[in-house]
Structure 1
Amino acid sequence: MEEVDAEIIEPFNLNFSDLLLLSASRGSSFSKEELERLESISTTIMETLGPSGPGLLTITGVPNASELRQILLPLARNLALLGNEDRKRALKENSLGSDVSLKNPDRIVSSFAMQLKYVEDPSLDFSFSGSSQNWEVVPEDLGDFPDNGFKNLKNTFKDLGICMMELGLRLAQVCDRAIGGKELEQSILDSCTAKGRLLHYHSSLDNLFLKDFEKTKSSIRRVTNPVQLSIGFRESETKNKEQTLVDDLNRDTCETETRFCKTSLSKFWQQWHYDYGIFTVLTTPMFISPCHEPTQGSNYGNCMSCEQECSPPDGHTYLQLFDHNNNRILVVRSPPDSFVVQVGESADILSKGKLQSTLHSVCRPAKQDNLSRETFVVFLQPAWDKTFSISQHLKEKLISNEQCSRACDEIGVSTSDAISFHLNEKVMLSLIEEINGIVPPLSSRLKDGMTFAEFSRETTKQYYGGNGMQSKR
């Protein structure tokens, strides 16, 4: 299919200090002018996250976030390119799991996951600005790999994750205030946990290295059976070689970031989909380019000097949105140290359509396949036993979506002049047809009275097949 040109969008940016004010109780300490300013920001937030907006915004000015991001994101690549036994040990020591087959050298995404728990504090104040951290960020930590590169991985993962949980919870409070009630906030708190995921989107060179490494390792094993290759950690000679990676790793297929990995590697890192939680909070990604191509016996996989952080090749994050209102593709540009917050389908349902879930994908740089992409994501979702009811607004939306989907199937490109599109009509019709074939409609996954667990299971089943079960680890 011919490529669709995308337009760059810079979402509404919310300063963390304003988020704190908006989520706090407003009393007499605020002047009339300040109250009007905050009300204007709140209105903009709801317009941005609502049916007429893109369904996501950015947040800047978060204390300590830049330092934590700078330490954590490169570790995604380092973990992804470790030998299997070394990675297994690193993940176990840092209480991390994975939801992809890390033994598969053809994987296009490596994912490292942990359940994050909300603090047991009746004030619901995460106090991320300092008290939640139990270690100090120092620049030397960035150069510790391979010997000590993972010593602060678990703490960094948790601290940045707690920060992002706070952002999502406070934004839920702001939205609840505009909608009325505390449905979003309470649904997040009732879940008790959120899912954190550190992601390495592979470059083509990464995959070449992994394949080369596997071939070399297999060859050496055939000749000298006890000899083991080591990258980073020294492998124990007494380890049971029959033990597989999946023994200690979390196989969370429900929110896997390797969606539809059989699609063209030149086009997507991650195919079109909706997140089905309440909010998805992401760091602005980091792009890394190696200084040389991988060769047998090289230090490509674990040499910090190989890594060069790059500016986004085309000035954006490669996060793509589909704008239903104007039938166009948007790519998101965000400040380097910002967080992106996206609306999930559960927020759409619970807010009775006041918030709009975001159809999105992650595309690959067309002409720079040596770049990898690193990011950290936290998924905020309701409790598993949260019951969904279908509002009248949602019923009308489901009917409208079904009619639109059938119309796209029936109309064909020959009569496309009957539809008004921003972009080339035939190309856009082909894209809509492609997306409809990939993304199962909400009406096929959501039934009135479903629990979130049932909705999650049905969504997973229709996206990926299988039984739709998600690990609770």
Structure 2
Amino acid sequence: MEADAEILEPFHLHFSDLMRLSSSSSSSLTEFERLDSISRTIMETLGPNGPGLLAVTGVPKASQFRLSLLPLARKLALLSNDDRRRILKDHGLGSDVPLKNLDRSVSSFALQLKYVHNQSPELTSGGSNHGDESSHFMEGENPNLASLEEFQENEFKNLGSSFKELGLCMMELGLCLAQVCDKALGGQELEQSILESCIAKGRLIHYHSVLDNLIIKEVSRTRGSSKRPANYQLQLNCGARKADYCFKEAQKPTEGPNSEGKERSCRTSLSNLWQQWHYDYGIFTVLTSPMFLSQCRSPVIECPSPSGHTYLQICDPNKNNILLVKSPPESFIIQVGESADILSKGKLRSTLHSVCRPIKQDNLSRETFVVFMQPAWSKTFSIAGYPAENLGSSSHSSGSCGEEVHVAEQETQKPYQQIHKVIPPLQKRLKDGMTFAEFSRETTKQYYGGKGLQSNT
């Protein structure tokens, strides 16, 4: 099912202003008034009447971070299981999705990040510590068969260090935003909750193109017939098949004169999703703006988003519609999780979101890196003072659809109501006095457990 969607270009918070707002240094009256205005905008953006997310721009080394790590997501996803397992083990990474599933639409590589305040990466210096060693996705050179394992080791040489460096940088952004929100809310609840935990989960995520899944299945089929890693054999003999596939895809007729350009960018899907609708249950989720890779050329290269947005879509309860998020390529998106919503007594708003697939762009993959910031597992939640209406299913907050409601209004409510059929309401997952560990277990169970609302999606 497709639906009309608006493009949301979230508030752009410049890195330098985030640093000034989170510090306690004094400033001139003019500067104080400017920063105070920015602070109010942040709270409006992350509050009950805003989208619940913003974009941080101007972060030093953002381009180097992005180029060194994001292309490795696809390379890891297309390795044979044995090669991938070896590389992940070498760098201390794991996965939280079943990577043996040949039809998976997402490959995720995870690491628990440990944060030590005031020992985060230096964000004010320029340049990268890793040179260009991790950016060879533009080159397309094939290694000699005899040196394949050495080639792979060199290719992924900086995987672990890049993962940790970018992850800690993103945690620092989240902590600074928590300090800004705490100043506006009064107290230090968010900052202290993050510092008491000092851990976050980092995920390097590859959203598969259709062609990726064909390659993964080919790797699996040929693995048993040769002692050489099947994925590299595929690099040697699959070029013609890839080109033929992409040519046929390009020749498919479009659905009409308005199926390209702006018309395409204003359509979204409720069912053709890379990632299902959900709330994050931590404090903040920090994401890189995604990288898109086109597999219709050799070598695989980065390309701009075909629609100009990120394919991250959010559900706006104030308008009962879907918004597609647009952000600069080298920005970081920070969105509010349910823990921040609860701890702030509803003054910050958690973001209901999903990731949709591009329309008629089967050759395109999406790469991103995400850090989930959370309170300590032992953190206790209190619902005293939390708005009662926020505990129920938001699908009921838009009012009834009685006979007096116009047909057009009913139609605008349908996508919103359909989404909430797979979202367990907060009141069924959160009880007064529950720890964060208990809340996260119950949330995961009700989304994805045996009888969870998304167990079969």
For Structure 1 versus Structure 2, the TM-score category normalised by the shorter chain is 0.7 to 0.9
Q: Is the 8 A contact 1:68 1:137 kept in 2?
A: no
Partner secondary structure for residue 112 of structure 2: strand
TM-score by length of 1: 0.80
CA distance in 2 between partners of 1:129 and 1:81 (Å):
32
Pairs aligned (count)? 404
CA distance in 1 between partners of 2:205 and 2:270 (Å):
17
Q: Is the 8 A contact 1:318 1:363 kept in 2?
A: yes
Give CA deviations for 1:93-144 in whole Å, capped at 9, x if unaligned.
111000011111100000000000012x5xx4635326899x7131243128
Q: Is the 8 A contact 1:290 1:370 kept in 2?
A: yes
Give the aligned residue type for 2:405.
A
Q: Is the 8 A contact 1:319 1:331 kept in 2?
A: yes
C-alpha displacement at 1:417, in angstroms? 5.7
C-alpha displacement at 1:399, in angstroms? 4.8
CA distance in 2 between partners of 1:197 and 1:103 (Å):
18
Q: 1:185 to 1:368 in 2, by over 3 A?
A: same
Q: 1:458 matched to which residue of 2?
A: 442
Q: How does 1:356-371 map to 2 (within 5 A)?
A: 356-371=349-364
Give the aligned residue type for 1:12.
F
Give the aligned residue type for 2:32.
L
CA distance in 1 between partners of 2:94 and 2:86 (Å):
11
C-alpha displacement at 1:265, in angstroms? 11
Q: Choose the corresponding residue for 1:339, options 332, 339, 343.
A: 332
- Identical residues among aligned pairs (%): 63
Q: Give ranges in structure 2 of 5+ residues lacking alignment.
A: 138-150, 234-268, 453-457
Q: 1:201 matched to which residue of 2?
A: 207
Q: How does 1:102-141 map to 2 (within 5 A)?
A: 102-119=99-116, 121=117, 124=118, 126-129=120-123, 136-141=129-134
Q: 1:277 to 1:75 in 2, by over 3 A?
A: same
CA distance in 2 between partners of 1:284 and 1:416 (Å):
44
Q: 1:69 matched to which residue of 2?
A: 66
RMSD: 2.5
Matched, 1:418 2:405: yes
Q: 1:232 to 1:182 in 2, by over 3 A?
A: farther
Q: Is the 8 A contact 2:282 2:373 kept in 1?
A: yes
Partner secondary structure for residue 387 of structure 2: helix
C-alpha displacement at 1:402, in angstroms? 7.4
Q: Give ranges in structure 1 of 5+ residues lacking alignment.
A: 222-226, 234-263, 293-304, 469-473
Q: 2:15 matched to which residue of 1?
A: 16
TM-score by length of 2: 0.83
Q: 1:417 to 1:359 in 2, by over 3 A?
A: farther
Q: Choose the corresponding residue for 1:100, options 79, 97, 100.
A: 97
Q: 1:416 to 1:60 in 2, by over 3 A?
A: farther
Q: 1:274 matched to which residue of 2?
A: 279
Q: 2:288 matched to which residue of 1?
A: 283
CA distance in 1 between partners of 2:451 and 2:24 (Å):
44
Matched, 1:446 2:446: no
Partner secondary structure for residue 306 of structure 1: coil
Partner secondary structure for residue 43 of structure 1: helix
Q: How does 1:279-318 map to 2 (within 5 A)?
A: 279-291=284-296, 305-318=298-311
C-alpha displacement at 1:154, in angstroms? 0.5
CA distance in 2 between partners of 1:215 and 1:231 (Å):
10
Give the aligned residue type for 1:19.
L
Q: Is the 8 A contact 1:126 1:132 kept in 2?
A: no
Q: 1:249 matched to which residue of 2?
A: none
Q: Choose the corresponding residue for 2:170, options 156, 164, 170.
A: 164
CA distance in 2 between partners of 1:58 and 1:200 (Å):
21
Partner secondary structure for residue 151 of structure 1: coil
C-alpha displacement at 1:427, in angstroms? 4.0
